[in-house]
Amino acid sequence: MVSLETSIIIQAPIEHCFDAARNISLHPRTVWKHTREQAVAGVTNGFIESGQTVTFEATHFGVRQRLTSEVTAYKRPLYFTDEMQSGAFRSMTHQHYFSSIDHEYTQMKDVLIFEAPFGVLGKMAERWVLESYMKRFLEHRNEQLKQWLESGEFSKIRSMDNNYIDTGLII
């Protein structure tokens, strides 16, 4: 089992950061392009809420795969947790934490805990490949969220009540 932690400071209100992190429409624009990630079931656009699920389809290591997660803990705007219900991992829990810094900045922290399948081979894959891959994946997504939030475009999407607006921001 691997536990990763990332943290980033974003110049945006805590509510904006919280909402951006749970915005399913924005998600594909903030992950690596080569994964061609998209929401295909459950909540497929707008903001995911407590008790809801989303299924993402993406290509990782040359394999097209699906991962379904459910939001199992939720306290706006401080934290939410999503847990894998089905997918390539034996288990995966992603905790998202937000703390306000002087009302102008937000610290966004991710804790990702996962376990690969396949026993000893899975343990080797965790340490040799998956740990660094997943950390880079999270760091890239967080940098993209930061860029998007600090561009000021978030106010457009937030006011539309779960409707996605293509901001034209190139990510």
| Residue burial 23-58, b: 16+ Cβ < 10 Å; e: rest | bbbbbbbbbeeebebebeebbeebbbeeebbbbbeb
pLDDT level of residue 156 (50, 70, 90 thresholds): low
Contacts of 33 (CB under 8 A, 6+ apart): none
Sheet with 79-86, edge to edge strand ranges: 2-10, 105-115, 91-101, 79-86, 63-75, 53-60, 38-42
CA 8/CA 4 separation, integer angstroms: 14
pLDDT in tens, 18-29: 999 999 999 888
Task: Please state, as a whole number, how many other Cβ atoms lie within 10 Å of the Cβ of residue 103.
Answer: 8
Look over the chain and give the mean of its residue pLDDT values, rounded to a whole number: 89
**SS3 call for 71:** strand
- Give pLDDT tens digits for 72-102: 999 999 999 999 999 999 999 999 999 999 8
Global confidence as pTM: 0.87
Question: Which one has a higher pLDDT value, 164 or 50?
Answer: 50
pLDDT band at residue 63 under the 50/70/90 scheme: confident
Domains (range + CATH), the chain: 2-158 (3.30.530.20)
Residue type for position 50: S
Read off the DSSP letter of residue 23: B
Which 8-state DSSP code applies to residue 155? H
